[in-house]
Amino acid sequence: MGRFFQWMLTGLGRARILAGLLCMVGGVAAPSFTAELDPDQIAVGDFATLKLAFTDLGDVVAPPPPVVPNASVTYRGSSRQFSIVNFSRSSTVIHEYAISPKTQGTATIPAITVEVDGRKYTSEPVVLRVGAGRDLSSIGFLKLSVPRTNVYVGETFPVEVRFYFRIQPAQQAPPTITMEGFLKGRQHLDSLPPESINGHDHAVARWTLAVTAVKPGDFEIGPAELQTVYRYESRRGFFGGYESRQLTFTSDPLHLRVLSPPAAGRPATFDGAVGRFRVDVSASPTNVTVGDPVTVRVRIAGRGNFDGLALPALPPNSGFQSYPGTNSFVEAKDDPLGLSGTKSFEVVLVPEQSGLQRLRWPVITSWDPVDRKYVTEEGRPLTIQVRPGAGGQAQPTGSNVVAASASPASRTGPVPGDLALKTELGRLRRVSGSVVMDGGFWVAFGMPLLAYAVVAGGIRWRRRRREDPAVAQGLRLRHAVSEALAGLALHAQSGRSPEFFTALHSALQGQLALVLGGAAGSYTEDVIDGKLASRGLDSENAERLRSLFSAIAQARFAPGTTPGELSERAADAEQVIQALRRLEGAV
């Protein structure tokens, strides 16, 4: 065994092993392109996976989804496989598509041709057998509804799709509704309280879509389709797990009759507006000179098709010239579809005649689809006092007037859905990316956090230090030594011998406790040779310390000492304390 490893480690052995491995993987399979269905037999509502496998063709981009009649095809993603079979290695890129047939029978996926490096590869057509769809009613069902089945041209109304389900899908897309003769608007999704149907509780999801009828006739809305993905426990593999299944719920279609508002009794002021509206008009200023601009604000509030709502032209010979303005729409707060709200117009009128001018404008006539009658609304008449001018027509001003003031509009009011150009240029700025892409922003953002962490950490460190008994003892001793040293000089000068030696005793004992770590007051001169010498106290200071201990002992029995001697002792004590401080921390 040992010899074998030695042989392997020699250069010749390594070369032989490498050659052997190269022989094992040396063969390469021929390039190929295949199409495969998994499974090839499904039911309506399920989906099969079409796998396009490109073997040894490199990184092939996914071909566009094939067109399969009566089925929807969506790209799902790609994967890569490596294999060695009979000493032949191969690399396969697999692009997967989900195929969901809508009708029973067979669906043929046609041959697919791809071009790689100038060479064309074509797959074989594959056939998908589609059986009858499963009964989805045990899972849920879809219901399509409208408020009325008779609507009017120009009327905007909500179409509601409700999904009643007993099992929550893992994923669901917004439903699709096929319709012709209608314009789709905004949509909104919300949840409704659960309902009990046939003794079973069903959760309810509701999509509401704003729809506008555009031409008269009999039309069909729907069916609505809702694509969902459910996850089931898999029984295929040994280890179980989950598998996804796409289920499509379909509603019944609805038949709608779209009528034109009746010609009989139609007022001349009717301009196609459908809904219920109220009109409010205001003007300012109301006391002007001929040629001065007057801004007229018209607010039309209500429910209906606001897109088709425009201001009518000024009546002929009204005495005013109109200039284009702006309009804006603010939807009602509780109406996410925008069917209710307020449309505001701002128009500039220029009086051409002097005198007290009265203007009944605008007059809005709409068809009320609920009460089925024409309704004419107008705001209070405008009364404007116009003084004679000095001659010459003034140009309109204001924030909403197009700069082309010399050319009045050919028609009054904005074109439906049209917007006036903005006249205030604003400040021109170079458009750059957001500051959040700048590292400096995040540094500035993190600085308060860092400052907080530093201050909090510092305070905590100080608190812990203060609460440490050893540290607290050290601080107390240091304080006591400092105070005693300060008292030495004073007592020496005043010749107070007892106080001097008491302070000397305190200073020495305190400093020795700091050096040796014991309790102050327990040290005698024995520590000089026993502990301090080993810590490096020089002989001169050792001798001084010994003499200080002796002086303290003598003072107990003969306290009388001259101030000069006390000063000398004080100087010695200071030198000894300095020397002992140098020994703090030394072992």
Partner 1 sequence: MRRPGRSLRGFQWIAVALLIGMLHCLAAETGGFEAANRLAAEGKFAEGAAAYDVLAAGGRTSPALEFNRAQARFKAGQPGRAWAHLLTADRLSPRDGTLRMAAEQMAPRIPAGATALSGADHWIHLLTLNEWAVLALLSMWIWGILAVGGLLSPTWRLKLRKAVWISGSLVAVFTLLLSGALWSRWRNPDTVVLQGDTAIRVSPLDEARTAFSMQEGAELRSRGTRGDWVLVEEPVSRRTGWAKRGEVAVLPFR
In the complex, the residues that contact partner 1 under the rule CB under 8 A are 61-62, 64-65, 74-75, 77, 115, 184, 186, 307, 324, 326-330, 402-404, 407, 417-419, 421-437, 441, 444-445, 447-449, 451-452, 455-456, 459
Which lies closer to partner 1 via its Cβ, residue 61 or residue 533? 61
- Nearest of 105, 118, 111, 91 to residue 25 by alpha carbon: 91
Give the number of C-alpha atoms closer than 13 A to the C-alpha of residue 147, restricted to the C-beta side: 12
Q: How far is the CB of 319 from partner 1 (least distance, A)?
A: 24
| β 113-116/41-43 pair status | unpaired
Which lies closer to partner 1 via its Cβ, residue 322 or residue 326? 326
- Return d(Cα 262, Cα 372) in angstroms, integer: 9
Which lies closer to partner 1 via its Cβ, residue 115 or residue 543? 115
DSSP designation for 337: T
**3-class SS at 173?**
coil
Angle between helices 563-583 and 497-516 (to 10 degrees): 10
* Residue-wise DSSP of 239-297: T--EEEEEEEEEPPPEEEEEEPPPSTT--TTEEEEEEEEEEEEEEE-SEEETT--EEEE
Q: How far is the CB of 279 from partner 1 (least distance, A)?
A: 20
- Return d(Cα 278, Cα 331) in angstroms, integer: 15
Which lies closer to partner 1 via its Cβ, residue 54 or residue 361? 54
Q: How far is the CB of 403 from partner 1 (least distance, A)?
A: 4
**3-class SS at 504?**
helix
Which lies closer to partner 1 via its Cβ, residue 188 or residue 496? 188
- Return d(Cα 161, Cα 158) in angstroms, integer: 10
Q: How far is the CB of 95 from partner 1 (least distance, A)?
A: 11
Which lies closer to partner 1 via its Cβ, residue 197 or residue 444? 444
**3-class SS at 164?**
strand
Structure tokens at 517: 């770590």
Q: How far is the CB of 420 from partner 1 (least distance, A)?
A: 9
Structure tokens at 433: 């990316």
Q: How far is the CB of 422 from partner 1 (least distance, A)?
A: 4
Which lies closer to partner 1 via its Cβ, residue 228 or residue 357? 228
- Return d(Cα 337, Cα 157) in angstroms, integer: 9
Structure tokens at 232: 């089931």
- Nearest of 573, 457, 418, 582 to residue 507 by alpha carbon: 573
Q: How far is the CB of 158 from partner 1 (least distance, A)?
A: 16
Q: How far is the CB of 534 from partner 1 (least distance, A)?
A: 46
Which lies closer to partner 1 via its Cβ, residue 73 or residue 532? 73
Q: How far is the CB of 429 from partner 1 (least distance, A)?
A: 6
Q: How far is the CB of 273 from partner 1 (least distance, A)?
A: 17
Q: Which residues contact 380 (CB under 8 A, 6 or more apart)?
A: 281
Which lies closer to partner 1 via its Cβ, residue 237 or residue 440? 440
Q: Are 53 and 34 in contact (CB under 8 A)?
A: yes
Q: How far is the CB of 186 from partner 1 (least distance, A)?
A: 7
Which lies closer to partner 1 via its Cβ, residue 163 or residue 523? 163
Q: How far is the CB of 516 from partner 1 (least distance, A)?
A: 38
| Omega of the bond leading into 408 within 30 degrees of 0 (cis) | no
Structure tokens at 176: 């699709």
Q: How far is the CB of 368 from partner 1 (least distance, A)?
A: 24
Give the number of C-alpha atoms closer than 13 A to the C-alpha of residue 389, restricted to the C-beta side: 16
Which lies closer to partner 1 via its Cβ, residue 285 or residue 446? 446
Which lies closer to partner 1 via its Cβ, residue 70 or residue 328? 328
Give the number of C-alpha atoms closer than 13 A to the C-alpha of residue 138, restricted to the C-beta side: 2
- Return d(Cα 105, Cα 453) in angstroms, integer: 70
- Return d(Cα 169, Cα 245) in angstroms, integer: 10
Cα–Cα distances in angstroms (integers) from residue 64 to residues 51, 95, 96, 331, in the given order: 13, 11, 11, 42
Which lies closer to partner 1 via its Cβ, residue 97 or residue 320? 97
- Return d(Cα 232, Cα 244) in angstroms, integer: 6
- Return d(Cα 495, Cα 559) in angstroms, integer: 11
